[in-house]
Amino acid sequence: MADLIGSKIERKEDRKFLTGKGRYTADINLPRQTYAYFVRSPHARAKITKVDHSKAMKAPGVIDVFTGDCVVKDKVGGLICGWKIVSQDGKDMKCPPHPVLAKDSVNFVGDHVAVVVAETLEQAKNAAELVNVSYKIQKAVIKTEEATSFENIHEGIDNNLSFDFLLGDKGKTNEAFSKADKIVKLDVVNNRLIPNAMEPRAAIGDYNASSDELTLYTASQNPHLDRLIMSAFNAVHPEHKFRIVAPDVGGGFGSKINVYAEDVVVAYASKKIGRPVKWVAERSESFMSDNHGRDHVTHAELALNSDSKIIGLKVDTIANLGAYSLVLAAVTPTYLYAPLLLGIYDIPTACCTVKGVYTNTAPTDAYRGAGRPEATYVIERIVTEAAKEIGMDQAEFRKKNFIKKFPHQQCLVHNIDSGNYDAHLDKAIELSDYKNFENRRSQSAKKGKLRGIGFSTYFEACGVAPSAVVMSIGAGVGLWESAEIRFNPTGNVSVFTGTHSHGQGHDTTFAQIVGDKLGVAIENIDIVHGDTDKGPFGMGTYGSRSLAVGGTAIVNACDKIIAKGKKVAAKMLEGKPEDIDFKGGEFILKNSNKKKTIGEVAFACYLPGTFGDVKSPLPEGVEPGLIETSFFDPSNFSFPSGSHICEVEIDKETGETKLVKYTVVDDFGTVINPLVVEGQVYGGVAQGVGQALYENAHYDESGQLTSASYMDYTMPRADNFPQIKIDYTCTPATSNPLGAKGCGEAGTIAAPAAVMNAVIDAVGTDVQMPATAEKVWKALKKNGSKKAAA
Amino acid sequence: MAKVSLKINGKEISQDVPDSVMLSDFLRDYLSLTGTHVGCDTSQCGACVVHLDGNSVKSCTALVADCNKSEIVTIEGLAKNGKMHPMQEAFKKHHGLQCGFCTPGMVMSAVDLLQKNKDPSEQQIRDWLEGNICRCTGYQGIVAAVKDASSKM
């Protein structure tokens, strides 16, 4: 069984998805179900002067219409920011009220104003057109860099500034800069993205008046957290009478962490009308109202000494929070971002400021990588520019500045337990045939193409997170994880995890861990998640935490099972517990050939009387049953790292960029299932390439989202990619017994910088993301005219 | 209201359907064939692809009334006697799916490609699948699966 860890095992969950038997929220239909359709703001900023729903109430099939007045009357709480940041002046960040249905004002296109509940979806949609909302339109602020000089969009929040965050030592950093031999400066924009999980969000509220139980089916990454928030803050229903089911979920990428207005409203509406209420987002609603990601404007400076060593880093960022502050909106551009700006370099001093600003755009929050792609982009772009400016090879400059000894306490926050950065860069250099790059560049030039190469050597902090650490910096909850192992009498095993799989393959990977630990065939192990009524409270899946934190809880629960099993086996084998070894699913009495399988021991635990040749197997004081629970709180974050090398070819005539070669070498620590891990990396890289070359959430000056469909928002497609080469190095994590570091976001974190460094190398001048054909063409034209003038 | 007669996954169906009902909604809401997914509202994502008289179509933009007397195969109709189609097997082997939402449409498109081109090159596979969006896999496992299936079909 030992070879289960590290094996390319095909996924257990695939068959249902491949045969059309997946069960997503939209696939669920309940008896007496009704349909909800939301009335949304068509304006980016307006005062609501009147909501008249009298006509809609009379429309065919309409059961009820709920407005902002209703939720105020029924004391339904607003949406919350779950992790509050303190500004450098010691003051708490400012959060505007965020009602689930707007009553007085709307603050972005798509903001929820009312909901119509009807017998059919068509009737709900038609009646929604009859809800007459009177608006007094106001001028909106859209651009990140204009927010602080615009009039206040929320009462009491001056300069639209939520927080002014500082991390690092300003004095020491200024001193380092004053002694620098070279200062490299860079301005970068981190474009606004829309997560675009392929399953649009959906929710069904189902209130049972007989039992006073409320069930919410919702596409969520963290059903227990949703229930906690909706009970404690939205006051929808008491936690012990409230069940949340997140069934099959079609991708999350951070966009399904939040409790959304629609979740609260369908739950509330179901209680009001006493029937199930179903809502499924249309894609255009997803574009408008799912949380967006990134949207930073940054100025960075890097100080070097005469020996080409980095001696200091200064970064100033404005982060666009959008119209309100969502659950992780504030931590994403601060603690998940600023500490990561140091990259994998030994930088003695740094300081970073982040201004979090409100604008009349969709709220931003975690999107795959959350803060870390933004940080990696800044440091990997400026390190690249530094190497260029001093005329040093990209790889050589990086290696010269890499952290070499571990554990390494960085000057900002993190204490990196393990790593070997030279190892993955060397391997990537070899695998990508870096030494012959200039030949390839010449060959491309012969075809009239500009070829460029880009490096991105990244690290990330994942395995979120040590609860004491995160709660000391504002997290509203701890970030431990739970697991429960239930050995059933017949010997198969149900494993309950507080994490949630929405594509990550937990059903297989976690079964491999349990199979390895307990010696049970993975066919006989069922991984259960996504239902608050089934397993213990868990924190969910995000931040590449599931294996490092949730997987460790599973390991610990397995250890408890083995410990109890030894006591029982000792009695059965007439020995002492300390003389029992457990190996390959068998309890063996030392220095004898006496043994019992774990299945026999489990069976005995449930039948503590006399049966067959077994007589009362339970020792005194040992309870019947074989169920163990573990809650694991990690001692540290985990720190995956790696090297990406990207090559692009650019068509001089059209400005079109083609990805022609992409190499990845990652250090994820222990890999449980390479098939699953490779999938995470391919997908992550594709999203990172999407950010660099294609994707951009665009609002016009009035605040209309002009990229609200797949006709306008460019998703990466199959024909945008070459084969991506992947390899690994391994330094195990020391903060969990698996040695696992996490792999879910790495591709998205590293790729934008690798791609853009390659584009900029080819073009020869700065280009901001996304490097669309138009932007590249303009940059080339500008270059050409400069050269002609010279 | 239109009366439509269809053969769906080998089974004859005759039913009255409002003129405005899309094939995807008909499959999902009338027949509970929820393997066909709807991921967008502009006919771009391809999660809804089914076979209509042997050709892949986006069922979210086909009126069921226009499909009268047609033969339709959905993802539920691909496995035979409990044995998955070689394309489904290949997707499993090459990790061509993660969250599974785009998968039914992706598999139906891929099967249609191999009906029309028995041995496509990698570029031909990538070009053909341009109308199916996957957010999870980066397409690498999918392309490998189609290539592998082409040797087995």
Lowest-confidence pick of A159-173, A279-293, A468-482: A468-482
User: Nearest Cα to A406, choosing from A335, A480, A334, A459?
Assistant: A459
| Chain B neighbors of A709, CB-CB under 8 A | 40-42, 44
Distance CA A228, CA A234 (A): 9
Q: How confident is the model at residue A787 (pLDDT cuts 50, 70, 90)?
A: low
Q: What is the CATH number of domain B2-77?
A: 3.10.20.30
Q: What is the dihedral of CA A746, A747, A748, A749, to 10 degrees?
A: 50
Give the helix/strand (H/E) hosting A242. strand A242-245
What is the model's pLDDT at position A736?
95
Q: Would you say residue A10 has pLDDT above 90? A: yes
CB atoms A683 and B133 under 8 Å: no
CB atoms A198 and B97 under 8 Å: no
A568-600 pLDDT per residue, tens: 999 999 999 999 999 999 999 999 999 999 999
CB atoms B133 and A724 under 8 Å: no
CB atoms A284 and B41 under 8 Å: yes
| Chain B neighbors of A683, CB-CB under 8 A | 98, 135-138
Integer CA distances (angstroms), A297 to A75, A145, A456, A657, A679, in order: 38, 7, 20, 24, 31
A275 min Cα distance to partner chain B (Å): 19
Of A23, A504, A710, the CB nearest to B45: A710
CB atoms A23 and B34 under 8 Å: yes
A166-200 pLDDT per residue, tens: 999 999 999 999 999 999 999 999 999 999 999 99
A437-462 pLDDT per residue, tens: 999 999 999 999 999 999 999 999 99
Q: Which of residues 15-54 of B touch A (CB under 8 A)?
A: 28-29, 33-42, 44-45, 47
Structure token digits, residue A673: 């299932």
Suggest the residue from B122, B136, B143, B147 to mutate for an interface test with chain A (most A CBs closer than 10 A). Answer: B136
CB atoms A723 and B44 under 8 Å: no
Q: Where are the beta strands (DSSP E) in A132-181?
A: 132-137, 161-168
B95 min Cα distance to partner chain A (Å): 7
Q: What average pLDDT score do residues A504-529 get?
A: 98
What is the model's pLDDT at position A3?
87
Distance CA B109, CA B134 (A): 13
Structure token digits, residue A759: 């584009």
B141 min Cα distance to partner chain A (Å): 7
| Chain B neighbors of A21, CB-CB under 8 A | 35, 76
What is the model's pLDDT at position B21?
96
What is the model's pLDDT at position A614?
66
CB atoms B99 and A197 under 8 Å: yes
Q: Would you say residue B17 has pLDDT above 80? A: yes
A538-578 pLDDT per residue, tens: 999 999 999 999 999 999 999 999 999 999 999 999 999 99
CB atoms B123 and A284 under 8 Å: no
Q: What average pLDDT score do residues A521-541 get?
A: 97
Of A29, A283, A503, the CB nearest to B39: A283
B148 min Cα distance to partner chain A (Å): 15
Q: What average pLDDT score do residues A2-30 get?
A: 95
Lowest-confidence pick of A10-24, A334-348, A611-625: A611-625
Distance CA A321, CA A292 (A): 9
CB B74 within 8 A of CB A20: yes
What is the model's pLDDT at position A609?
81
B109 min Cα distance to partner chain A (Å): 13
Q: Does B111 touch chain A (CB under 8 A)?
A: no
CB A250 within 8 A of CB A502: yes
Q: Would you say residue A2 has pLDDT above 60? A: no
Pairing of strands A525-528, A493-497: parallel
Structure token digits, residue A421: 């950065």
Of A22, A249, A251, the CB nearest to B135: A251
Q: Does B56 touch chain A (CB under 8 A)?
A: no
What is the model's pLDDT at position A469?
92
B139 min Cα distance to partner chain A (Å): 6
Portion of chain A with pLDDT greater than 90, in percent: 96
CB atoms A715 and B95 under 8 Å: no
| Chain B neighbors of A284, CB-CB under 8 A | 41
Of A20, A717, A747, the CB nearest to B76: A20
Residue A51, strand partner residues: A133
What is the model's pLDDT at position A20?
98
A688-713 pLDDT per residue, tens: 999 999 999 999 999 999 999 999 99
Portion of chain A with pLDDT greater than 70, in percent: 99
Suggest the residue from B95, B103, B127, B137 to mutate for an interface test with chain A (most A CBs closer than 10 A). Answer: B95
> Across the A/B interface, how many CB contacts are shorter than 8 Å?
177
Q: How confident is the model at residue A1 (pLDDT cuts 50, 70, 90)?
A: very low
Among chain B residues, the shortest Cα distance to A16 is held by B100
Distance CA A574, CA A580 (A): 10
CB atoms A24 and B101 under 8 Å: yes
Q: What average pLDDT score do residues B72-97 get?
A: 97
| Chain B neighbors of A15, CB-CB under 8 A | 84, 92
Of B29, B100, B138, the CB nearest to A17: B100
Among chain B residues, the shortest Cα distance to A120 is held by B29
In sequence order, which residues have a C-beta less than 8 Å from that of residue A618 and are 6 or more positions away? A568, A571, A604, A605, A608, A624
| Chain A neighbors of B9, CB-CB under 8 A | none
What is the model's pLDDT at position A789?
63
| Chain A neighbors of B60, CB-CB under 8 A | none
Suggest the residue from B98, B122, B132 to mutate for an interface test with chain A (most A CBs closer than 10 A). Answer: B98
Q: What average pLDDT score do residues A275-300 get?
A: 98
> What residues does each domain of chain B span?
2-77, 86-150
Question: Quick check: helix, strand or coil at residue A635?
Answer: coil
A233-278 pLDDT per residue, tens: 999 999 999 999 999 999 999 999 999 999 999 999 999 999 999 9
Q: Does B95 touch chain A (CB under 8 A)?
A: yes
Of A23, A200, A724, the CB nearest to B138: A724
CB atoms A21 and B140 under 8 Å: no
| Chain B neighbors of A199, CB-CB under 8 A | 37, 39, 99, 101
Mean pLDDT score across all residues of chain A: 97
Q: Which amino acid is at A212?
A: D
Q: How confident is the model at residue B153 (pLDDT cuts 50, 70, 90)?
A: confident
In sequence order, which residues have a C-beta less than 8 Å from that of residue B100 and are 6 or more positions away? A13, A14, A16, A17, A18, A22, A248, A250, A503
Q: What is the CATH number of domain B86-150?
A: 1.10.150.120
A110 min Cα distance to partner chain B (Å): 16
Q: Does B130 touch chain A (CB under 8 A)?
A: yes
What is the model's pLDDT at position A790?
60
A338-349 pLDDT per residue, tens: 999 999 999 999
A734-755 pLDDT per residue, tens: 999 999 999 999 999 999 999 9
Q: What average pLDDT score do residues B13-17 get?
A: 96
Suggest the residue from A7, A24, A194, A198 to mutate for an interface test with chain B (most B CBs closer than 10 A). Answer: A198
Q: How confident is the model at residue A788 (pLDDT cuts 50, 70, 90)?
A: low
Integer CA distances (angstroms), A121 to A63, A161, A218, A259, A434, in order: 12, 40, 18, 23, 57
Helices (H), chain B: 23-25, 86-93, 103-116, 122-128, 140-150
